[in-house]
């Protein structure tokens, strides 16, 4: 059995590894070769914490396991990350524990991989301006991964807490992209690709602010009640997602679905585009929207890569069962 620490995950798993692993598992999900089990998430009545499991089985990649963890709001004051998680991988042939893998860094890279996969498959090839809505922990990972998918010339950004924007500006500077803080309407007018990655509970981007041809990756809404964009924008866009069952219940599409603006049948798994079953973007004027809800299989996919690379590089701790 292997133990792979947070630090080792950072050393061995790069953005390209995460992209490849998550793209493969989205493809397997769309073919019915991989499936997520129902998510458990509970307020435990201690330390204000939310705790739960995301699990699944990828028969194509032979990855079985779960991510266990949640949100401890008091952690920041102790110098720890509020989101804490660990991935458990099991041998699908025997059920034996194969690996314990730190899940915090991997959650960020697998989430950034998801939006970057959507950009790779759905954004216009001539996209030049990247709009960032959000500037928290995940935003820098999102920006770095997105920047590798198109020849962006500029980043425009808005955040609910403006004091967090310099942190994102530093990431843009690090990768050599000019950065402008702007208001939301101007962001919509300028951006060819928009990533929203906030914990908002109300629409931040309205339909009338978005240009034809824009690709939007809505990444923050992963729970019932959260919301980042206008339901009319979701209904007007061609919508893709990681998993339809999550998109309509806990994803960005939940609001457009609940208000009857669109039906579940209007949503396409991004795996269908990866597999060539759906064309993806069909015109330069179409607005495409990726509803990235976050599935356990993404975590298992990147954790499996971490375990394999850490073992190969002699960086995993090997423990007898
Ligand atoms: P964070 O706490 O570091 O940052 C929160 C962000 O939301 C900041 O930009 C903050 O300014 C903004 N925000 C807070 N309250 C807001 C409000 N009322 N209105 C608008 N914006 C507000 O969090 P993070 O780790 O960067 O995660 C951001 C979001 O992404 C969270 O909601 C998290 O649950 C979600 N998330 C989704 C996935 C996925 O797979 N889809 C994975 C990880 C995290």
Q: Are residue 281 and residue 151 in the same domain, yes or no?
A: yes
Position 63 scores a pLDDT of 98
Residue 277: the pLDDT is 98
Bridge partners of 289, per DSSP, are 216, 239
Ligand 1 atom with the smallest distance to the CA of 294 is 40
Mean pLDDT of the chain: 97
Instruction: Tell me if 114 is assigned to some domain.
Output: no
The residues, ordered by sequence, that sit 6+ positions from 205 with a Cβ below 8 Å of its Cβ are 133, 184, 187, 188, 194, 196, 216, 228, 229, 230, 233
Give per-residue pLDDT as tens, 105-114: 999 999 999 9
Tokens standing for 110?
A: 């697998």
From the list 31, 54, 67, 207, the catalytic residue is 67
Q: Is the dihedral of CA 151, 156, 158, 161 positive or negative?
A: positive
Same domain, yes or no, for 172 and 272? yes
- Tell me whether residue 113 is in a domain: no
- Residue 278: count of CB within 10 angstroms of its CB: 17
Q: Based on the fold, state whether residues 287 and 207 are members of the same structural domain.
A: yes
- Using pLDDT thresholds of 50, 70 and 90, give the confidence band for residue 299: very high
| Same-domain check for residues 258 and 131 | yes
Tell me how far the alpha carbon of residue 313 lies from the centroid of ligand 1, in angstroms: 34
pLDDT at 238 over 90: yes
162 and 217 both lie in a single domain: yes
Q: What is the pLDDT of residue 58?
A: 97
| C-alpha 160, offset from chain centre | 20
DSSP letters for 80-115: S-SEEEEEEEE-TTT--EEEEEE-HHHHHHHHHHHH
Does residue 240 share a domain with residue 133? yes
Tell me if 142 CB under 6 Å of ligand 1: no
User: What six digits make up the tokens of 14?
Assistant: 């790069």
DSSP state of 38: P
β-bridge mates for residue 37, sequence order: none
Percent of the chain with pLDDT over 90: 98
Instruction: Categorize the per-residue pLDDT at 302 as very low, low, confident or very high, splitting at 50, 70 and 90.
Output: very high
pLDDT for res 233: 98
pLDDT digits (tens, 9 = 90+) for 268-288: 999 999 999 999 999 999 999
Find the mean pLDDT for residues 190-214.
98
Closest by CA position to 200, among listed 229, 237, 232: 229
The domain total for the chain is 2
Q: 158 and 291 share a domain?
A: yes
**Angle of CA points 316, 317, 318, to nearest 5°:** 110
pLDDT digits (tens, 9 = 90+) for 137-179: 999 999 999 999 999 999 999 999 999 999 999 999 999 999 9
* CA 214 / ligand 1 centre spacing (Å): 22
* Residue whose CA lies nearest to ligand 1 atom number 2: 136
Per-residue model confidence (pLDDT) at position 321: 82
Tell me, yes or no, if 125 is annotated catalytic: no
Closest C-alpha to 34, from 70, 63, 68, 67: 63
Claim to verify: residue 186 and residue 248 sit in the same structural domain: yes
Q: What is the mean pLDDT of residues 98-123?
A: 98
Range of the domain at 166: 124-295
Q: Are residues 290 and 306 in the same domain?
A: no
**Residue 149 and residue 19: Cα distance in Å, rounded?**
11
CA–centroid distance, residue 139 to ligand 1 (Å): 8
216-234 average pLDDT score: 97
Tens-place pLDDT, residues 5-62:
999 999 999 999 999 999 999 999 999 999 999 999 899 999 999 999 999 999 999 9
d(CA 71, CA 47): 10
What is the structure's pLDDT at 146?
98
Residue 18 placed within a domain: yes
């Amino acid at each position: 059995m292997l133990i792979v620490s947070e630090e080792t995950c950072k050393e061995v798993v790069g953005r390209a590894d995460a992209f490849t692993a998550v793209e493969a598992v989205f493809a397997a999900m769309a073919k019915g070769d991989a499936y997520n089990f129902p998510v458990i998430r509970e307020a435990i009545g201690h330390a204000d914490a939310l705790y739960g499991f995301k699990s699944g089985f990828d028969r194509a990649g032979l990855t079985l396991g779960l991510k266990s963890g949640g949100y401890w709001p008091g952690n920041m004051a102790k110098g720890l990350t509020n989101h804490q998680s660990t991935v458990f991988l099991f041998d699908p042939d025997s059920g034996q524990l194969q690996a314990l893998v730190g899940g915090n860094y991997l959650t960020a890279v697998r989430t950034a991989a998801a939006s970057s996969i959507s950009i790779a498959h759905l954004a216009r090839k001539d996209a030049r301006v990247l709009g960032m809505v959000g500037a928290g922990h995940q935003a820098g990972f999102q920006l770095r991964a997105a920047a590798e998918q198109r020849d962006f010339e500029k980043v425009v950004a808005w955040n609910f807490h403006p004091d967090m924007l310099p942190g994102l500006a530093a990431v843009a500077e690090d990768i050599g992209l000019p950065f402008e803080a702007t208001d939301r309407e101007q962001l919509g007018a300028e951006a060819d690709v928009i990533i929203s990655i906030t914990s908002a509970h109300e629409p931040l981007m309205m339909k009338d602010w978005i240009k034809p041809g824009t690709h939007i990756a809505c990444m923050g809404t992963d729970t019932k009640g959260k919301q980042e964009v206008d339901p009319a924008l979701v209904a007007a866009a061609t919508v893709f997602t990681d998993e339809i069952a999550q998109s309509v219940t806990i994803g960005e599409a939940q609001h457009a679905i609940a208000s009857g603006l669109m039906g579940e049948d209007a949503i396409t798994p991004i795996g269908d585009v990866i597999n060539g079953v759906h064309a993806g973007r069909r015109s330069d004027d179409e607005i495409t929207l990726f509803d990235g809800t976050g599935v356990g299989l993404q975590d298992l996919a990147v954790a499996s890569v971490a375990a394999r690379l850490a073992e190969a590089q002699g960086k995993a701790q090997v423990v007898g069962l």
